[in-house]
Homo-oligomer: A and B are copies of this chain.
Amino acid sequence: MTDGWPKRVYVALIHYPVMDKNGEAIASAVTNLDLHDIARACETYGTAGYYVVTPLADQQELVRQILDHWRIGKGGSYNPLRQKALEQVRLKSDVAGAVAEITAIHGGPPRTVATTARRKDGAIPVGQLQEMIRTDPAPVMLFFGTAWGLSDDLMDAADHILEPLMETGDYNHLSVRSAAAIVLDRLLGR
């Protein structure tokens, strides 16, 4: 975490609404390492919280089991560093629930920022988002999509869309774990 940087950036990993490979809206399954890797990146870069958003009851139960293992079960004593990272995780059924919680904590709604590997009109560079964070006390909530990315509806509903990480190149298919790590590094790491 950059020294003196305010701790009010949130990450949200979205499992619904996201797209399948044909562009249809789906609810995706939770991936164990998404929880671990992104929580560790969040803790390293000093975010204020990491929301895992899924409306599926069985997937919520899976998340709870993983978190319990590391937070209160054997995982924590085996690897306290992993335990510390997973304390960032907050499970929510939908984006609105996460937004409401952040709003309650900070006394005002977060600035929501969708991430995507695709070019979108009006997308902002990461430097502009850094400047917003510097000059505006509102919390910031970064949306990351699982599967084939955030649905267009959710992207349109966000206050901002972040420019893709790669402007050039004909291959731009990072895992959401890698993309989240790189966005946090560009936003908070320098």
Contact stretch, chosen from A34-42, A58-66, A107-115: A34-42
Instruction: Point out the residue from B81, B169, B181 that lies within 8 Å of A178, measured CB to CB.
Output: B181
In the complex, A44 has a CB within 8 A of chain B: yes
Instruction: Point out the residue from B82, B165, B171, B189 that lies within 8 Å of A166, measured CB to CB.
Output: B189
Chain B residue nearest to A36 in the complex (CB): B175
In the complex, A177 has a CB within 8 A of chain B: yes
In the complex, A22 has a CB within 8 A of chain B: no
- Which chain B residues lie closer than 8 Å to A120 at the CB level? none
CA distance A189 to B43 in the complex (A): 23
- What interface size band does chain A fall in? 20 to 34
CB distance from A81 to the nearest CB of B (A): 5
CA distance A44 to B111 in the complex (A): 29
What are 26 A-B contacts with C-beta separation under 8 Å? A1-B168, A2-B168, A33-B177, A36-B175, A37-B174, A37-B177, A40-B173, A40-B175, A41-B175, A44-B166, A44-B171, A44-B172, A46-B169, A81-B171, A81-B173, A82-B173, A85-B173, A165-B185, A165-B189, A166-B189, A178-B181, A181-B182, A182-B182, A182-B185, A182-B189, A185-B186
Task: Using CB atoms and an 8 Å cutoff, list the residues of chain A in contact with chain B.
Answer: 1-3, 21, 33, 36-37, 40-41, 43-44, 46, 79, 81-82, 84-85, 165-166, 168-169, 171-175, 177-179, 181-182, 185-186, 189
